[in-house]
Amino acid sequence: MALLNKSTEEVWSFQTDQTIMWLGEDGILRYDYVPPYQDEKLEEAERVAAEVLKRTQGKRYPMLVNLVAVRSSTPEARAFHAGPETGKFVSACAVMVKTTLARVIGSFFLGLNRPSWPVKLFTDEDEAVAWLKDGAHKS
Amino acid sequence: MDENEIFELTGIVQQIAAGNFSARADISDRLDADDALRQGINMLAEEIERREKRLEEQVIELKRMNEVFVARELKMVEMKGEIDRLRKTVDDLQKRVDDQSSGTA
């Protein structure tokens, strides 16, 4: 149950019971879930977004999300992740789906929730980071 | 997934197919491919349930709007009748005035 790589220094970070969130010096937000597994509900998604908004202060960042430790996510939580509050701090989103379960949850998010910013599923973290960094999602 | 688990999961699918969109499969803490299949079924059921609820809300809203429009239509018919009555009254009065005028002349 691997967390995201710590290949870059943290600018800031915080952790809740369910979530680990940090901004790297490379300008990418990392959104991880605390192993071994999490059942995400709307309240947690809102709590994390409020904490992030305090730190990002209106600036939007590319974000890397790791779904490997997510066992379930309610429709309300997924809708929130694709909604205007999240859009205040996210410019593009690469979703790590290294397991079959993560791929299912990620596919539902991509297909049904359809956020207004670019979203893509990845199984390789380096490719995901490269996609977020090189701005390919902007074209 | 053994035969019992397949039987159990098939039961959940049958419940959903029968219209019980709140039926859910239990997800284990293994987070394996079997859980992915269960979660996929759960999320499809959630989506059907969500759309069903939204459709019900839209039907209620359409019924309410229909009632408003029908009521307005009935009111317009009533007002048209009232206008016709008033127009007839005006015509009658005008005729009486004309008759009186021609009698005076």
Ramachandran region, residue A59 (left: φ > 0; alpha: ψ -120 to 50; beta: rest) = beta
pLDDT in tens, A35-59: 999 999 999 999 999 999 999 989 9
Question: Coil, strand or helix: which one is A93?
Answer: strand
Query: Strands A61-66, A29-33: parallel, antiparallel or unpaired by DSSP?
Result: parallel
CB–CB contact B47 A108 (8 Å): yes
DSSP type of residue A91 = E
pLDDT in tens, A78-112: 999 999 999 999 999 999 999 999 999 999 999 99
Contacts of A112 in chain B (CB under 8 A): 47
Say yes or no: A110 contacts chain B, CB-CB below 8 A.
Answer: no
Q: Which residue of B has its CA nearest to A36?
A: B29
Q: Which residue of A has its CA nearest to B27?
A: A71
CB–CB contact B35 A101 (8 Å): yes
Asked if B43 and A108 count as a contact pair (C-beta separation under 8 A), the reply is yes
CB–CB contact A71 B27 (8 Å): yes
Summarize the confidence of residues B46-63 as an average pLDDT. Answer: 95
CB–CB contact B36 A100 (8 Å): yes
Q: Which residue of B has its CA nearest to A112?
A: B47
Cis peptide before A36 (omega within 30 of 0): yes
pLDDT in tens, B18-28: 999 999 999 99
